[in-house]
Structure 1
Amino acid sequence: MGLCHGKPVEPPQNLSETSVLPGDNNDSTLNSFTGKTPKFSFYSPSPLPSAFKNSPAHSTSVPSTPLRFLKRPFPPPSPAKHIKALLARRHGSLKPNEPTIPEASECEIIGLDKNFGLLKNFNSHYGLEDEVGRGHFGYTCAAKGKKGNMKGQDVAVKVIPKSKMTTAIAIEDVRREVKILRALTGHKNLVQFYDAFEDEENVYVVMELCEGGELLDKILARGGKYSEEDAKMVMVQILSVVAYCHLQGVVHRDLKPENFLFTSNDEHSTLKAIDFGLSDYVKPDERLNDIVGSAYYVAPEVLHRSYGTEADMWSIGVIAYILLCGSRPFWSRTESGIFRDVLKADPSFDEDPWPSLSSNAVDFVKRLLNKDYRKRLTAAQALCHPWLAGNHTMKIPLDMIVYKLVKAYTCSSSLRKAALRALARTLSVPQLTYLREQFQLLGPSKSGFIYPQNFKTAMSKISTDAMKDSRVQDYVNMVSSLQFGKLDLEEFCAAATSVHQLEGMETWEQHARLAYELFEKDGNRPIKIEELAPELGLSPSVPVHVVLQDWIRHSDGKLSFLGFIRLLHGVSSRAYHKA
């Protein structure tokens, strides 16, 4: 139900077609409620010249069968139609006779309950004024308070007609949006929520009025891009609020320049995240599977229907790319073309202005636009990246990935712990700075140790109602109940180091080789296949033993480099059989 606070802005005439920015007529969206209408029909062929002689784009007369001799194979089936159907079912926008394969939770239900239990007297509290934005599912107006603490105060009111809520999921989206806004409000980079009302016709969400326009407007006003220094200021604010949301177990799912507003027209105005209409709760060890968001910013794993908070980090990577170079990393005139690029293509860093930008800026964007979500930076880690470190005074928040990694570490074998300790000794200063920050946030004792209870205590200090609804607290309690004794800073660094994220760095091979040398000196020891298999959770089958023979050197019975790398990942029997 994408909230639109700003009116459409025409792109400057000097922008080239290959550098089209979000917000133009070609902006494609996966969410039918953003109010953005693609220039080309979702099912229409691409307006670009076709490579096939008999395609509709090439000729008005199409033979009943294609030529047998083709210079190129047919392109793979487009994922666009399937995704469009999912979204249509989600929001009840299918045509009466349109064939579908309905999913159990997405079917329209007769007699939908549209009572939200909200306050009923909106008109006595606020007076609506001019409309400031309109989406497919609702519209936003400026308003003024009539009584109480809000008397005379200018606010924004998102008006959502109940007539548009034609499915149970659409109703739940509205209910969840209000719940999330109410729970999260208070962060300085998140639009402030004041109250919510309803009557027979509409739901009214009363929020802070941001009069500085969209981030998209600012990008266009600057000729399509930001300087590095100005881009840093924007990214720090975006990452701060996203890190806060992720820690509470909330994934936004529709991060884009249109969904960030400046509070005023002042040059150093605060940036605010808006529109939580597609947001959802996610537990650290769970994955979401419904496809929502905006096409140019959607992460690959969303299209594969298995994702978590990492999908937001991909979207932030797209925003960073746009800020720095003025064009999208993935662009096509059709939705299916966008999706194929997101899934298969790599963004270009060879054309101007990338060669003239700092290596840290390029590395920052690359580590967010990694198609393997496990290798992406978290929001808290991104704030500690060398490109941003030293450019802000933002307090680094707790990072939920630390809880996940420590849990895995405490359940590991002694051999894997030794391997991770060797790897941690190869970390760079920025990486160690981030880990020290996380260690201090957990409240170590005077003797320099953290205990299981520290994890629960640290989280309870910043807990909100959103955290309870997302069941993050359940996960924290589980980690806190693990009997791992205590961790000092050195061992905590080993426990909280992500092997996958290090693999996403260009310096991974150096890390791995140096770590193996350290492991050889301090942790490597002769080990039998029969001992290695259970330590890695592998079944004692003959095929597994054949594989493990390559992991152990025949000369001295110690782990080979391959075995060391596998051990760092903590290979399980499940992962082995999948491979």
Structure 2
Amino acid sequence: MGICHGKPVESAVREEEDAEVSVSVSIPSSGTPKPPKSPFYSPSPLPSSYKSSPGHVGTPLRKIFKGPFPPPSPAKHIKAFLARRHGSVKPNAASISEGSEANGIGLDKSFGFSRQFRSRYEIGEEVGRGHFGYTSSAKAIRGDLKGQEVAVKVITKSKMTTAIAIEDVRREVRILRTLSGHKNLVQFYDAFEDDENVYIVMELCRGGELLDRILARGGKYTEEDAKAVLVQILNVVAYCHLQGVVHRDLKPENFLFTSKDETAPLKVIDFGLSDFVKPDERLNDIVGSAYYVAPEVLRRSYGTEADMWSIGVIAYILLCGSRPFWARTESGIFRAVLKAEPNFEEPPWPTLSPEAKDFVKRLLNKDYRKRMTAAQAQCHPWIRDHPDVVVPMDMVICRLIKTYICSSSLRKSALTALARSLTVNQLFYLQEQFSILGPNKSGYIGLQNLKTVLLKHATEAVKDSRVVDFVNTVSSLQYRKLDFQEFVAAAVSVYQLEADDNWEQLTSSAYEIFDKDGNRPIMIEELASELGLSPSVPMHVVLQDWIRHADGKLSFVGFVKLLHGPSSRTMPKNGYRQ
């Protein structure tokens, strides 16, 4: 195969050509380029350079007098939101802020950083340019790093025209300062400021971007080489997620090699769009790069799962050299992300291993509940035997255990039956997590183990993300210790199992166990209570197919629905979903 290229989603492209003109993306150049007339030969919509994330997408204009309006664009409202974030307001545009904030007048642009940058560093050549400034090499002339080359991200204060833009910079420095110590995360040294700029001093990586390596290899990696890259990405992303940090702009441009050596370590960079998120919270601001953005981000309700989608796109590109979602405009890309399915039929997919294909599919599942977490991806059969895999504690375990503990005895019995039906592969990840939590000599763990393990591996970032607060809530629940069998019942994700090819066989086997050991006559009122349905709901209509008429016991349909637990519509506002 030649250089990386994208396969157009024809239906999406035709719809775009009929409905809309192009959508603009802010890139590090003096002007905004026109959309290409031919396919864009790169797995990313942006040019290759070490830069801050633009993430700026415009809303398409409608062609006048073209007949009935087409379906609403997924890009609707994105322009105003991102314009507010970046302060890029044009004349005659819709108002997005009150008073003088849009021009940056009256905003406090003092960050409290040291003002000694010029006396400690000598700026060198520019290595990249972004929305707010540029990145240069520099040499330390004083201090602990004297004589050492570093990278300096220079962010221009005059371009910080909104409070959101200023907060983005504060948060980026806070995340870099607190989220430290991982070998695949660019090392942060210090932050400075003067009247004109903010200077973020970091490790200098001379090996170039992952994107450049992909292009240099003719567009794709072998499976083994792809594993070596993805293991490093998963290791650092799992580390970030454990601390409650979601990157929100994972793409090949944001991974740098430390040197030109083929075996050089890979480092994630650019936390300019990153944020803190607690396991039971959802973010709603739309940020990122079009080709890598997750469906739930466009729907404005997402968490750390959005990063896993982006890793799925990177994995797809590594293995076949093509982008899984493609269109001529950013709005068209959004349509493809929301509606189209990746192509696994064209070469080279038929020649790749079934495990590799399954790995990518599990990351590119549009339902974020069915998507693998970073820790789960490291336990996937395709990748788990790689010597560099380091499986950490997975925060989803805490959320699932909390849901299990708050469930009725009926649902616990159903989950226990499901746990007894799991295959060896399905149990592997749960065995890893149970071992990480440190069972005692009798083979039991307590809820306090969750907090103990988290604090053992925590950085300062967990304070801002409030992950510890969440784990404290789980740990404080009064509950007996869990052996491995009950841990599996508590920590298994029903939604992720539903994505397995053997889901029907699995649930059938589990129902046989449940029908033999845990099924009993049940009243509709009890089921309604289990699901949190209010008395005003016509329960007999909703639940009539859940109970067998012959003996009043739970039917197979009811069993499967019970496994999933209460729906989002029946859960209380402070409840938790799997």
Scaled by the length of structure 1, the TM-score of the pair is 0.88
**Residue matched to 1:425:** 420
Taking structure 1 as reference, are residues 180 and 425 closer, same or farther at Cα in structure 2, changes over 3 Å only?
A: same
**Residue matched to 1:534:** 529
Alpha-carbon contact 2:8-2:327 (below 8 Å) kept: no
Query: What per-residue deviation string (whole Å, max 9, x for no partner) do you get for residues 493-535 of structure 1?
Result: 1100000111122221111111111111111111121222212
How far 1:437 moved relative to its partner?
Answer: 1.4
Alpha-carbon contact 2:4-2:322 (below 8 Å) kept: no
Is 1:344 the counterpart of 2:365? The answer is no
Letter in 1 for 2:394: D
Is 1:553 the counterpart of 2:543? The answer is no
**Residue matched to 1:91:** 86
The 5-angstrom pairing of residues 110-509 of structure 1 reads 110-509=105-504
User: Structure 1 residues 498-507 or 408-417, which shifts more?
Assistant: 498-507
How far 1:267 moved relative to its partner?
Answer: 1.0
How far 1:105 moved relative to its partner?
Answer: 14
Distance in 2, matches of 1:295 and 1:216, equals 16
Alpha-carbon contact 1:19-1:327 (below 8 Å) kept: no
Alpha-carbon contact 1:144-1:154 (below 8 Å) kept: yes
Letter in 2 for 1:207: M
How far 1:79 moved relative to its partner?
Answer: 3.2
Taking structure 1 as reference, are residues 138 and 362 closer, same or farther at Cα in structure 2, changes over 3 Å only?
A: same
Query: What per-residue deviation string (whole Å, max 9, x for no partner) do you get for residues 354-379 of structure 1?
Result: 11110011111111001110100000
Alpha-carbon contact 2:282-2:301 (below 8 Å) kept: yes
Distance in 2, matches of 1:448 and 1:95, equals 64
Letter in 2 for 1:370: N
Distance in 1, matches of 2:64 and 2:313, equals 42
Distance in 1, matches of 2:112 and 2:488, equals 47
Question: How many correspondences in the alignment?
Answer: 539
Which of 553, 562, 566 is equivalent to 1:571?
566
Q: Secondary structure of 1:366's match? A: helix
Distance in 2, matches of 1:204 and 1:541, equals 60
**Residue matched to 2:55:** none
Distance in 2, matches of 1:74 and 1:327, equals 32
Taking structure 1 as reference, are residues 31 and 418 closer, same or farther at Cα in structure 2, changes over 3 Å only?
A: farther
How far 1:153 moved relative to its partner?
Answer: 0.8
Distance in 1, matches of 2:516 and 2:30, equals 60
Query: What per-residue deviation string (whole Å, max 9, x for no partner) do you get for residues 372-405 of structure 1?
Result: 1010000000000001011234221000000000
The 5-angstrom pairing of residues 67-82 of structure 1 reads 75-80=70-75, 82=77
Alpha-carbon contact 1:127-1:143 (below 8 Å) kept: yes
User: Structure 1 residues 88-97 or 299-308, which shifts more?
Assistant: 88-97
Distance in 2, matches of 1:577 and 1:462, equals 32
Letter in 1 for 2:315: A
Alpha-carbon contact 2:378-2:390 (below 8 Å) kept: no
- % same residue: 71
Which of 35, 40, 44 is equivalent to 2:34?
40
Taking structure 1 as reference, are residues 14 and 418 closer, same or farther at Cα in structure 2, changes over 3 Å only?
A: closer
Distance in 1, matches of 2:529 and 2:395, equals 29
How far 1:212 moved relative to its partner?
Answer: 0.5
Alpha-carbon contact 1:32-1:87 (below 8 Å) kept: no
Distance in 2, matches of 1:74 and 1:516, equals 49
Alpha-carbon contact 2:532-2:570 (below 8 Å) kept: no
How far 1:346 moved relative to its partner?
Answer: 0.6
Q: Secondary structure of 1:150's match? A: coil
Distance in 1, matches of 2:568 and 2:296, equals 24
Distance in 2, matches of 1:66 and 1:117, equals 54
Letter in 2 for 1:235: L
Query: What per-residue deviation string (whole Å, max 9, x for no partner) do you get for residues 171-218 of structure 1?
Result: 000000000001112100000001111111111111111011000000
Letter in 1 for 2:271: F
Distance in 2, matches of 1:226 and 1:131, equals 30
Query: What per-residue deviation string (whole Å, max 9, x for no partner) do you get for residues 401-431 of structure 1?
Result: 0000000000000110011111112222233
Alpha-carbon contact 1:288-1:308 (below 8 Å) kept: yes
Is 1:520 the counterpart of 2:515? The answer is yes
Q: Secondary structure of 1:179's match? A: helix
Q: Secondary structure of 2:198's match? A: strand
Taking structure 1 as reference, are residues 357 and 19 closer, same or farther at Cα in structure 2, changes over 3 Å only?
A: farther
Distance in 1, matches of 2:25 and 2:168, equals 12
Alpha-carbon contact 1:254-1:279 (below 8 Å) kept: yes
Letter in 1 for 2:204: L
Scaled by the length of structure 2, the TM-score of the pair is 0.88
Letter in 1 for 2:401: V
Q: Secondary structure of 2:106's match? A: coil
Alpha-carbon contact 1:236-1:392 (below 8 Å) kept: no
**Residue matched to 2:58:** none
Letter in 2 for 1:264: S
Q: Secondary structure of 2:563's match? A: helix
Alpha-carbon contact 2:220-2:317 (below 8 Å) kept: yes
User: Structure 1 residues 296-305 or 31-40, which shifts more?
Assistant: 31-40
Alpha-carbon contact 2:545-2:555 (below 8 Å) kept: yes
How far 1:452 moved relative to its partner?
Answer: 2.1
User: Structure 1 residues 105-114 or 116-125, which shifts more?
Assistant: 105-114
User: Structure 1 residues 565-574 or 324-333, which shifts more?
Assistant: 565-574
Query: What per-residue deviation string (whole Å, max 9, x for no partner) do you get for residues 239-271 of structure 1?
Result: 010000011110000000000000011111100
Query: What per-residue deviation string (whole Å, max 9, x for no partner) do you get for residues 224-244 of structure 1?
Result: 010110000111000010000
Alpha-carbon contact 1:29-1:296 (below 8 Å) kept: no
Letter in 2 for 1:481: S
Alpha-carbon contact 1:538-1:573 (below 8 Å) kept: no
Query: What per-residue deviation string (whole Å, max 9, x for no partner) do you get for residues 139-172 of structure 1?
Result: 1111111123201111111111111111101000
How far 1:32 moved relative to its partner?
Answer: 4.0
How far 1:108 moved relative to its partner?
Answer: 6.2
Distance in 2, matches of 1:33 and 1:457, equals 44
Alpha-carbon contact 2:6-2:322 (below 8 Å) kept: no
Q: Secondary structure of 1:229's match? A: helix
How far 1:476 moved relative to its partner?
Answer: 0.6
Taking structure 1 as reference, are residues 256 and 464 closer, same or farther at Cα in structure 2, changes over 3 Å only?
A: same
Taking structure 1 as reference, are residues 106 and 322 closer, same or farther at Cα in structure 2, changes over 3 Å only?
A: farther
Q: Which runs of 5+ in 2 are unaligned?
A: 10-21, 40-61, 574-578
Letter in 2 for 1:563: G
Distance in 2, matches of 1:247 and 1:104, equals 40
Indicate the RMSD between aligned Cα atoms, in angstroms. 2.7
How far 1:75 moved relative to its partner?
Answer: 3.2
